[in-house]
């Protein structure tokens, strides 16, 4: 068990980070090269000012008509997205690991706060799941892969929560937690989780076309 | 512009008042925009001489004949003035005020051969379409006629016509090909889905056309015979004056290049390539190209200038010896002239096609800024502006330039014909 | 778990369209696979890939679409739903789809999407679903499967360089005719033809000379009253419309735009002013010109709404008496989401009319008329489909009527076609006008 732990918390972390950063970089560069070759418009009409203007509206809660029209979804999705990035970075348990490995550390949130936020993430995942099953327009678009992706995202938080509360089998769960986190990181470049990487570009391009060329808002 | 009568023009240095156009206002209630003859000796405008009665006032005299409607005033290079006129709903061409004998239900698109002797129009009578040259209509008639094109000498006329009865809304019949080219009233045997730009060979014997043989296949047809290669698009073909071969811009894999007789000709491709033209000796080909998306320039024998423009390039022209090229370029909404890859320093609100001197050394152009017109030679402006101005003409010895213009204050509305030493402008 | 991609229970399957039927009959699975993969490889790249891979199947785009809203939130009509039934399947099956799939794809892309781009404002990622539907239309064009009416229009474009089979002499004759008619009202009026060096080339769509010649009359009155230095060409290239853009015949679209802009260059005008048409604006402003490698229109293009704004703002047109019926304003996609003319349009409407009542939603968020994007051009057999596909527009108009609006101003030909059918079908008693109609009515005219 200790060997497994050492393996997943050692080499596998490296592997997952390399896949995440390397994969994301590869996806970005290969897409940029493809765009240069086949979608010259993207470069020609991309505007920093109008791209950022659009992105800004969309990353501010209730900053767009769409966000305002669906308040519950807006609250859930913003909280969810902030939490899944915020928790892993500012969790005290993770910071201890950083410190042990590389001697670096930074501000962290209290365990209670982390606990609450983890519940929020898990609840959000349940919300997304229910939405997929219940709302016809979402159900229609849903394929198995969407559930898998949701599971990939939910898993690190469920297992982490389990481990923290030292529920039965928490030691095994701890290992599963680490693996789940690594799977999620590694999955980002190669699944629809890539939306995290591509968002600034798709939104920025649409914002540029709408703003710089068509003099209209896209929010 | 081939004007072999240039030598007969008055090239005496000096300024001549041809007519004070403000007088027209006292004579007529309705005056349309004026047109000046190539030699500058005459200026004409459509005027109203009575109720529903129009004429053309040339200098200070209206034509004796009047019509219900007159439009499309055009001077031929031999300085004859044509107009499309209607008398009691019967349309024809009037040349220097004298109407052709044949009349039609409509005439349009007046075209001249290089020497101005041959005048052709498109005509419609009883819903049948044909061309008329020097008052002689084609004997064959068609259900439509478009892309009227004349040979260099104006003796031969071509167009695009439907050669089968087109059933309205039958898209499948259309896709089988219903159109052909017609030359002097005689259509080609082959039919195509579409034909557009037509070009005569320099001996007037052959005609090439850009055609579409299905919804997807574009190529060039020469005298009705297709190139054996198809492209995703093509533009207007041209005959070489040197050897009679045909070249056309063709689109391959999303890029444009120049093909000759169905084979690759230029070894590089462009984001766009069109309006290619031959030097008079046929040794060089220049074309308007986009070296990359949104950057326009001129390529000579496939090699682009390093100077590019963002908005457009148009009206390119070779010098008589074929060694120089001038064109119009536009960048950020402002127009200028570029010669041999170098742009004039000044920018204008509009510029007209540049003109080379016969000795190839100077380039002149009509330009406009804030509604005032002037002539510029090699980037240096004539220090006088006009309310209306026509393209300058160099004298045969290239030493003088003919300026035709209507002046502003203090000679407001006066039309002058002025011959200046070129050095008066270039210093 | 996943819904089957295609459902065939809609009455729209019963529409008979010879263009589609014969086109489908000529297809084989091999041909489809070959054409699709060839076109996708040659013409698509990062945008298609990124859009497909970024979409998280969240369904947020659904409520952007008037078809979805009008069909009781039927997910088949949601923007992403249409992508699922077409592009996703095509990519998943690597082009191995059967002729009936192409029939459905054509129906979805050409008669169930107006390319109005409203969904781009509801998708958090800004996925350009109009682009994706255009790709489907392009594939259908390359496969020879296009609705008969719009294909005939595309043929007209190719043969005459205008949308309505208008012959060269008919065009010029119509200008003469309208000039004469208008001279009965204003004796000094002129429609200058081929006047080189004019400030403005006034361009229209072919339905104007063909069916709505009074619009040319009105434009001439406005131009003359305002003292505008304008001209109209006597050659092909006068028509700014472009259904080839909508059928996916981009080569022809390019040819049409080339003719249009080169006509402007030949006439030595400073800019092109165009009539009240939305799709034509799209084609000359940021679609057709791009195919030709002109990054922006080589000669600037001003839509009528913006032009009227200039004339009123500069006092070139004076209002004799404001229009007294309460009006509302239909924001057309192609000049609002396409050029941001909504505030200028409101300035014009308020300058002309006593009472202006907004419809909701409005400006960039207005619902499409359901006629644009080439949908009305697919032919009369699709009319009921358009009307049913835009119940939400009827509701929107009814609500505006309840608040007092009696007149709808729509500065777009397609909006007119779509809204006219909606008004008629629902017995909504409202008048429908162009801005030019109102200006003509209320302006001070010279004698």
Count of Cβ atoms closer than 10 Å to residue A55 Cβ: 20
Least CB-CB distance to B312: which of C249, C254, C298?
A: C298
pLDDT at C65: 98
pLDDT at B85: 98
The stretches in chain B having pLDDT less than 50 are 1-2
Q: Does A40 touch chain B (CB under 8 A)?
A: yes
**Which residue, C312, C333, C358, sits at the end of a domain?**
C312
* Rounded distance between C-alpha atoms, residue B319 and residue B340, angstroms: 10
Q: Does A165 touch chain C (CB under 8 A)?
A: no
Give the pLDDT band (50/70/90) at residue C447.
confident
The alpha carbon dihedral of B367, B372, B375, B379 has a sign of negative
Residues in C closer than 8 angstroms to A210, CB to CB, are 120-121, 337
The stretches in chain A having pLDDT less than 50 are none
Residues in C closer than 8 angstroms to B251, CB to CB, are 251
The predicted model gives C192-201 an average pLDDT of 98
Q: Does C173 touch chain B (CB under 8 A)?
A: yes
The alpha carbon dihedral of C347, C353, C356, C362 has a sign of negative
Residue at C22 is within a domain: yes
Mean model confidence pLDDT for chain C: 96
End-to-end CA distance of chain A: 52
Range of the domain at C284: 151-312
Residue at A68 is within a domain: yes
Using one digit for the tens of pLDDT, what is the confidence trace for C242-286?
999 999 999 999 999 999 999 999 999 999 999 999 999 999 999
Give the pLDDT band (50/70/90) at residue C10.
low
Chain B nearest-CA distance from C437, in A, is 28
Say which DSSP state C251 is in. H
Interface test with B, best of C210, C251, C253, C271 (most B CBs within 10 A): C251
C1 pLDDT exceeds 70? Answer: no
Interface test with C, best of B52, B198, B215, B297 (most C CBs within 10 A): B215
Q: Is-contact A160 A174, C-beta < 8 A?
A: no
Using one digit for the tens of pLDDT, what is the confidence trace for A117-132?
999 999 999 999 999 9
Least CB-CB distance to B171: which of C19, C235, C300?
A: C19
Residues 125-184, chain B: which have Cβ within 8 Å of C?
A: 129, 144-146, 169, 171-172, 174-175, 179
**Domain identity same for C137 and C33:** yes
ipTM, interface predicted TM-score of the complex: 0.97
**Which residue, C248, C282, C312, sits at the end of a domain?**
C312
* Rounded distance between C-alpha atoms, residue B408 and residue B93, angstroms: 34
Residue at C1 is within a domain: no
Residue at A112 is within a domain: yes
Using one digit for the tens of pLDDT, what is the confidence trace for C301-334?
999 999 999 999 999 999 999 999 999 999 999 9
Read off the pTM: 0.97
Q: Is-contact C32 C143, C-beta < 8 A?
A: yes
CA dihedral B412, B417, B421, B424 (to 10 degrees): 10
Range of the domain at A97: 2-213
Residue at A20 is within a domain: yes
Using one digit for the tens of pLDDT, what is the confidence trace for C411-443?
999 999 999 999 999 999 999 999 999 999 999
Residue at C322 is within a domain: yes
Q: Is-contact C153 C243, C-beta < 8 A?
A: yes
Residue at C329 is within a domain: yes
Give the chain A residue nearest C123 (alpha carbons): A66
Give the pLDDT band (50/70/90) at residue C6.
very low
Give the pLDDT band (50/70/90) at residue C9.
low
**Which residue, C146, C163, C181, sits at the end of a domain?**
C146
pLDDT at B264: 96
- Beta pairing, strands B363-369 & B355-356: antiparallel
Residue at C6 is within a domain: no
**Domain identity same for C105 and C182:** no
pLDDT at C13: 59
**Domain identity same for C156 and C296:** yes
Least CB-CB distance to C336: which of A34, A41, A216?
A: A216
Give the chain B residue nearest A44 (alpha carbons): B293
Residues in B closer than 8 angstroms to C22, CB to CB, are 172
Q: Does A218 touch chain C (CB under 8 A)?
A: yes
Residue at C447 is within a domain: no
Chain A nearest-CA distance from C152, in A, is 30
Residues in A closer than 8 angstroms to C57, CB to CB, are 138, 141-143, 146, 192
Residue at A219 is within a domain: no
**Domain identity same for C207 and C259:** yes
pLDDT at B327: 98
Chains sharing 3 or more CB pairs under 8 A with chain C: A, B
Residue matched to tokens 């008919």: C170
Q: What CATH number is attached to the domain comprising A144?
A: 1.20.950
Residue at C387 is within a domain: yes
Residue at A78 is within a domain: yes
Q: How far is CA B316 from CA B4, B23, B288, B398, in A?
A: 22, 38, 8, 20
C351 pLDDT exceeds 90? Answer: yes
Query: What percentage of chain B reaches a pLDDT higher than 70?
Result: 99
* Domains held by chain C: number: 3
pLDDT at B4: 57
* Domains held by chain A: number: 1
Residues 368-407, chain B: which have Cβ within 8 Å of A?
A: none
Q: Does A60 touch chain C (CB under 8 A)?
A: no
Residue at A218 is within a domain: no
Using one digit for the tens of pLDDT, what is the confidence trace for C91-131?
999 999 999 999 999 999 999 999 999 999 999 999 999 99
Residue at C290 is within a domain: yes
Residues in C closer than 8 angstroms to A137, CB to CB, are 59, 62, 68, 73, 75, 78, 81
Give the pLDDT band (50/70/90) at residue C4.
very low
Least CB-CB distance to A203: which of C76, C126, C339?
A: C126
φ, ψ of residue C413 to 5 degrees: the values are: -65, -45
Say which DSSP state B216 is in. S
pLDDT at C2: 45
Residue at A146 is within a domain: yes
Residues in B closer than 8 angstroms to C141, CB to CB, are 215
């Amino acid at each position: 068990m200790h060997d497994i732990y050492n393996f997943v918390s050692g080499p596998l972390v490296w592997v997952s980070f390399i896949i995440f950063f390397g994969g994301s970089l590869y996806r970005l560069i290969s897409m940029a090269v493809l765009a240069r070759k086949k979608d010259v418009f993207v470069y020609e009409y991309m505007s920093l000012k109008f791209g950022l203007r659009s992105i800004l509206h969309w990353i501010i809660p209730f900053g767009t008509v769409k966000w305002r029209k669906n308040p519950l979804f807006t609250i859930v999705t913003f909280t969810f997205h902030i939490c899944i990035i915020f928790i892993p970075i500012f969790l005290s348990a993770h910071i201890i690991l950083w410190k042990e490995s590389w001697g670096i550390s930074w501000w962290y949130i209290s365990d209670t706060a982390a606990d609450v936020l983890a519940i929020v993430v898990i609840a959000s995942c349940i919300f997304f799941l229910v939405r997929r099953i219940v709302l016809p327009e979402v159900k229609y678009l849903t394929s198995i892969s969407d559930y898998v992706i949701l599971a990939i995202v939910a898993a690190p938080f469920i297992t982490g929560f389990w481990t923290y509360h030292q529920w039965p089998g928490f030691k095994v769960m701890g290992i599963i937690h680490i693996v789940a986190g690594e799977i999620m990181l590694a999955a980002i470049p190669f699944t629809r989780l890539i939306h995290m990487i591509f968002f600034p570009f798709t939104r920025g391009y649409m914002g540029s076309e709408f703003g710089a060329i068509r003099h209209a808002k896209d929010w | 512009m081939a004007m072999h009568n240039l030598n007969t023009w008055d090239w005496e240095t000096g300024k001549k008042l041809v007519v004070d156009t403000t007088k027209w206002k006292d004579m007529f209630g309705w005056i349309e925009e004026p047109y000046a003859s190539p030699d500058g000796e005459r200026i004409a405008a459509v005027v109203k001489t009575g109720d529903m009665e129009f004429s053309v006032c040339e200098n200070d005299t209206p034509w004796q004949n009047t019509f219900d409607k007159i439009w499309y005033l055009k001077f031929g290079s031999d300085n004859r003035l044509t107009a499309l006129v209607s008398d009691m709903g019967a349309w024809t061409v009037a040349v220097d005020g004298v109407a052709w004998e044949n009349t039609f239900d409509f005439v349009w698109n007046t075209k001249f051969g290089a020497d101005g002797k041959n005048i052709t129009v498109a005509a419609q009578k009883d819903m049948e379409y044909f061309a008329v040259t020097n008052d002689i209509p084609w004997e064959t008639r068609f259900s439509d006629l478009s892309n009227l094109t004349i040979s260099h000498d104006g003796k031969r006329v071509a167009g695009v016509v439907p050669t089968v009865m087109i059933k309205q809304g039958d898209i499948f019949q259309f896709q089988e090909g219903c159109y052909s080219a017609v030359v002097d009233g005689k259509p080609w045997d082959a039919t195509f889905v579409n034909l557009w730009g037509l070009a005569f060979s320099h001996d007037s014997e052959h005609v090439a056309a850009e055609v579409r043989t299905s919804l997807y296949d574009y190529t060039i047809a020469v005298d009705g015979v297709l190139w054996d290669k198809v492209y995703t698009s093509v533009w207007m073909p041209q005959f070489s004056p040197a050897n009679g071969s045909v070249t056309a811009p063709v689109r391959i894999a999303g890029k444009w290049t120049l093909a000759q007789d169905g084979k690759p000709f230029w070894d590089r491709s462009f984001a766009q390539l069109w309006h290619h033209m031959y030097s008079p000796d046929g040794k060089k080909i220049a074309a308007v190209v986009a070296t990359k998306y949104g950057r326009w320039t001129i390529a000579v024998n496939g090699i682009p200038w390093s100077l590019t423009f963002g908005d457009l390039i148009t009206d390119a022209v070779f010098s008589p010896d074929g060694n120089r090229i001038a064109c119009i370029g536009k960048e950020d909404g402002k127009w200028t002239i570029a010669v041999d890859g170098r742009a004039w320093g000044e920018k204008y609100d509009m510029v007209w096609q540049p003109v080379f001197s016969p000795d190839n050394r100077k380039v002149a152009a009509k330009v406009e800024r804030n509604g005032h017109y002037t002539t510029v030679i090699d980037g240096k402006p004539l220090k006088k502006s006009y309310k209306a101005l026509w393209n300058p003409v160099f004298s045969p010895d290239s030493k003088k330039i003919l300026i035709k213009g209507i002046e502003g204050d203090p000679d407001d509305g006066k039309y002058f014909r002025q011959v200046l030493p070129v050095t008066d402008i270039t210093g | 778990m996943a819904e089957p991609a295609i459902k065939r229970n809609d009455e729209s399957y019963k529409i008979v369209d010879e263009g589609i039927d014969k086109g489908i009959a000529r297809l084989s699975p091999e041909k489809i696979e070959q054409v699709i993969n060839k076109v996708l490889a040659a013409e698509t790249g990062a945008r298609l890939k990124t859009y497909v891979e970024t979409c998280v199947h969240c369904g947020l785009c659904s409520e952007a679409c008037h078809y979805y809203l009008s069909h009781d939130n039927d997910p088949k009509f949601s923007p992403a739903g249409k992508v699922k039934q077409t592009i996703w399947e095509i990519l998943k099956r690597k082009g191995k789809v059967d002729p009936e799939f192409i029939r459905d794809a054509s129906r979805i892309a050409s008669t169930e999407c107006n390319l109005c781009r409203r969904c781009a404002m509801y998708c958090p990622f800004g996925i350009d679903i109009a682009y994706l539907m255009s790709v489907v239309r392009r594939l259908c064009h390359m496969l020879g499967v296009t609705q008969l009416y719009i294909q005939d229009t595309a043929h007209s474009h190719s043969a005459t360089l205008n949308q309505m089979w208008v012959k060269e002499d008919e065009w010029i004759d119509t200008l003469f005719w309208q000039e004469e008619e208008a001279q009965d009202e204003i004796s000094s009026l002129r429609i200058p033809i081929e006047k080189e060096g004019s400030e403005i080339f006034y361009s229209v769509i072919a339905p104007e000379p063909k069916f709505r010649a009074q619009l040319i009359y009105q434009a001439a009155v406005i131009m003359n009253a305002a003292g505008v230095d304008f001209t109209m060409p006597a050659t092909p290239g006068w028509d700014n419309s472009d259904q080839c853009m909508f059928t996916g015949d981009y080569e022809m679209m390019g040819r049409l735009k080339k003719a249009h802009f080169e006509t402007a260059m030949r006439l030595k005008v400073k800019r092109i002013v165009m009539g009240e048409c939305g799709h034509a604006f799209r084609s000359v402003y940021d679609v057709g010109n791009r195919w030709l490698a002109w990054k922006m229109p080589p000669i600037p293009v001003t839509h009528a709404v913006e032009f009227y704004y200039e004339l009123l703002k500069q006092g070139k047109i004076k209002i004799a008496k404001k229009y007294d019926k309460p009006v509302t304003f239909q924001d057309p996609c192609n000049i609002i989401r396409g050029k941001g003319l909504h505030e200028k349009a409101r300035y014009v409407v308020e300058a002309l009319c006593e009472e202006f009542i907004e419809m909701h939603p409005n400006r960039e968020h207005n619902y499409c008329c359901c006629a644009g994007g080439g949908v009305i051009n697919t032919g009369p057999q699709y009319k009921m489909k358009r009307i049913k596909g835009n119940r939400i527009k009827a509701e929107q108009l009814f609500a505006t009527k309840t608040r007092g609006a009696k007149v709808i101003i729509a500065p777009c030909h397609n909006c007119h076609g779509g809204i006219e059918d909606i008004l008629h079908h629902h017995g909504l008693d409202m008048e429908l006008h162009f801005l030019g109609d109102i200006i003509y009515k209320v302006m001070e005219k010279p004698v």
